[in-house]
Chain A
Amino acid sequence: MGWEEKRVRGYLEFAQTAQRYHGRPIFALFCGDKDAEGKSWCPDCVTAEPIVRKELHNMPDESVFIYCLVGDRAYWKDPNNEFRKNLKLTAVPTLLKYGTPQKLVEEECFKAELVRMLFTED
């Protein structure tokens, strides 16, 4: 069947989507919001996104890739935002395998090898 992508914005949408696909491998990339020209306020996210997208074909069949915009810079900087509280995210970009401790943060997302390892790890 291959894999499919879901684009969401904000924590509530993310949580609902993750729950809907419970039982399938779920990978999520969290990035800062994008402006009208499609550019994120988070420069590392801008760098990471194309690298991650190039490796998506390595995800196992039936995987769901959730591309999640977390919010604007002010929201993200708040130490009590829902992503920090509920998912224990510490930075953007974060690429993770939902439901496991496996994740890559910031510059780790720039390394195609590590991204591939996350997608193919047992």
Chain B
Amino acid sequence: QEAAKYEKKVMVLDFVTPTPLGNSWGLGGTCVNVGCIPKKLMHQAALLGQALEDSRKFGWQFTEEVEHNWMTMTESVQNYIGSLNWGYRVALREKKVTYENAYGEFVAPHTVKATNKRGVEKLYTAERFLIATGERPRYLGIPGDKEYCISSDDLFSLPYCPGKTLVVGASYVALECAGFLAGLGLDVTVMVRSILLRGFDQDIANKIGEYMEEHGIKFIREFVPIKVEQIEEGTPGRLKVTAKSTKGNEIIEGEYNTVLLAIGRDACTRNIGLDKVGVKINEKTGKIPVNDEEQTNVPYIYAVGDILQDKLELTPVAIQAGRLLIRRLYGGATSKCDYVNVPTTVFTPLEYGACGYSEETAVEKFGEENIEVYHSHFWPLEWTVPSRDNNKCYAKIICNIQDNERVIGFHVLGPNAGEVTQGFAAAIKCGMTKEQLDSTIGIHPVCAEV
């Protein structure tokens, strides 16, 4: 849409290769269809369940037991997503961007072949190309994985309640899904190969794990599945999972209705003909290295989003990078995408917002003696009356002593962490120091005042 503003002739090729179970979706990419949007809505559904429980202590009286209907939630979520898909179609049309629901691949320099779902092929040429093909969930490569397991691609439109679920993985995708499934009342187990939330502050990652465990989510640590078999067909059916310890020869078995794989995502760069135009990719990870102007090694081909090597895999980052790129190419602008100090939030049952360095990375980069960590537990006022945990919410900031105690890391664990973090991210981008933070009077009573 940005390029069309500059009167460029633009075409978008969007195509979703169906999941092993046959699932597909509309225009909008991962975030809209099988990522952030449905995830946050389902997380909200789980939070509302908790709120209903809390409400009794605040005086709301109801005798019926409250239950959750998976189909009602899923239908509403999918309906909303459908309106977004449609909204994008209208927007592209109005801005005169040509859209084809077809699989694009390079076949020659400056030339792309588009194959639609009926197999009809068309060729297109262009002056410049932008690759933003994103990633898809990785499978384990064990017997039964593609036939019986689901991934996040399938979860948000699952036409039946998943029931007793085994989540394999310890990524934020795994923990967020485990979190809201448990919040909706399901029996959830998480199988973790080694650590939780690799790449995130480990002090906080462990607190998140502890909180989830204390709230009924089972963890099986240091095991990996080696086989998935079907005991009984159905919606959901019954599956038997066999797993092996990573530390020895112990084998365990378990029965679940659903197995959700969330062990990582792989870039969709292998089957789009990049070799035909000479675009270099990292053979091991499939990611595309680009310079700080999102340009690949081939000057007229650019890339943004999750497929970039060494860049954050976040929707707003991809959007920002794309917009700035177009403004540089056609609008005469010079600003590049700032990949530093990008705030993020993990929507686990106890939400975690962060911006800047984790404690480990700060120590590594600046040296333990040069950083100061300030931290505090806090008890949200809203949690006091319903007697919810009084020592779980936590905030910490990491400061660089050598640079005026500039705040280089911000971490908060508690309700609405995303909303809290956004403001502090702007402050960090402005170079806020500890003193400035201290002198900012808090809003009372809110969690953020800590």
Residues of A within 8 A of B (CB): 100-104, 108, 111, 113-114, 117, 121-122
Chain A residues contacting B227 (CB-CB under 8 Å) are none
Nearest-Cβ distance from residue B263 to partner chain A, whole angstroms: 32
Q: Is the CB of A101 within 8 A of B82?
A: yes
User: How distant is the Cα of A101 from the Cα of B85 in the complex, in angstroms?
Assistant: 9
User: How distant is the Cα of A117 from the Cα of B86 in the complex, in angstroms?
Assistant: 10
- Interface bits B77-88 vs A (CB < 8 Å: 1, else 0): 001101101100
User: How distant is the Cα of A103 from the Cα of B82 in the complex, in angstroms?
Assistant: 11
Q: Is the CB of B101 within 8 A of A104?
A: no
Q: List residues 65-108 of chain B with CB under 8 A from any CB of chain A.
A: 79-80, 82-83, 85-86, 89-90, 93-94, 101
Nearest-Cβ distance from residue A115 to partner chain B, whole angstroms: 11
Q: Assess A117 versus B82: contact at CB under 8 Å? Given A111-B94, A122-B101.
A: no
Chain B residues contacting A108 (CB-CB under 8 Å) are 90
Residue of B with least CB distance to A121: B89
12 A-B pairs within 8 Å (CB atoms) are namely: A100-B86, A101-B82, A101-B86, A104-B90, A111-B93, A113-B93, A114-B93, A114-B94, A117-B90, A117-B93, A121-B86, A121-B89
Residue of A with least CB distance to B81: A101
User: How distant is the Cα of A62 from the Cα of B80 in the complex, in angstroms?
Assistant: 27
When A and B form their complex, what is the total count of cross-chain residue pairs whose Cβ atoms lie within 8 Å? 25
Interface size grouping (class) on chain B: 10 to 19
Q: Is the CB of B93 within 8 A of A101?
A: no
Q: Is the CB of B90 within 8 A of A100?
A: no
Contact of A101 among B79, B94, B101 (CB under 8 A): B79
Nearest-Cβ distance from residue B96 to partner chain A, whole angstroms: 9
Q: Is the CB of B101 within 8 A of A100?
A: no
Chain B residues contacting A102 (CB-CB under 8 Å) are 82, 86
Chain B residues contacting A114 (CB-CB under 8 Å) are 90, 93-94
Nearest-Cβ distance from residue A24 to partner chain B, whole angstroms: 19
Residue of A with least CB distance to B86: A102
Nearest-Cβ distance from residue A50 to partner chain B, whole angstroms: 20
Q: Is the CB of B89 within 8 A of A117?
A: yes
Would you list the 8 A-B pairs with minimal beta carbon distance, nearest first? A101-B83, A101-B82, A102-B86, A101-B86, A101-B79, A114-B93, A117-B93, A113-B93
Chain B residues contacting A117 (CB-CB under 8 Å) are 89-90, 93
Nearest-Cβ distance from residue B38 to partner chain A, whole angstroms: 14
Nearest-Cβ distance from residue B428 to partner chain A, whole angstroms: 38
Nearest-Cβ distance from residue B15 to partner chain A, whole angstroms: 13
User: How distant is the Cα of A59 from the Cα of B90 in the complex, in angstroms?
Assistant: 18
User: How distant is the Cα of A122 from the Cα of B86 in the complex, in angstroms?
Assistant: 11
Chain B residues contacting A103 (CB-CB under 8 Å) are 86
Chain A residues contacting B82 (CB-CB under 8 Å) are 100-102
User: How distant is the Cα of A111 from the Cα of B93 in the complex, in angstroms?
Assistant: 10
Chain B residues contacting A104 (CB-CB under 8 Å) are 90
Nearest-Cβ distance from residue B438 to partner chain A, whole angstroms: 48
Which among B83, B86, B94, B101 has the greatest number of chain A C-beta atoms within 10 A? Answer: B86
Nearest-Cβ distance from residue B91 to partner chain A, whole angstroms: 10
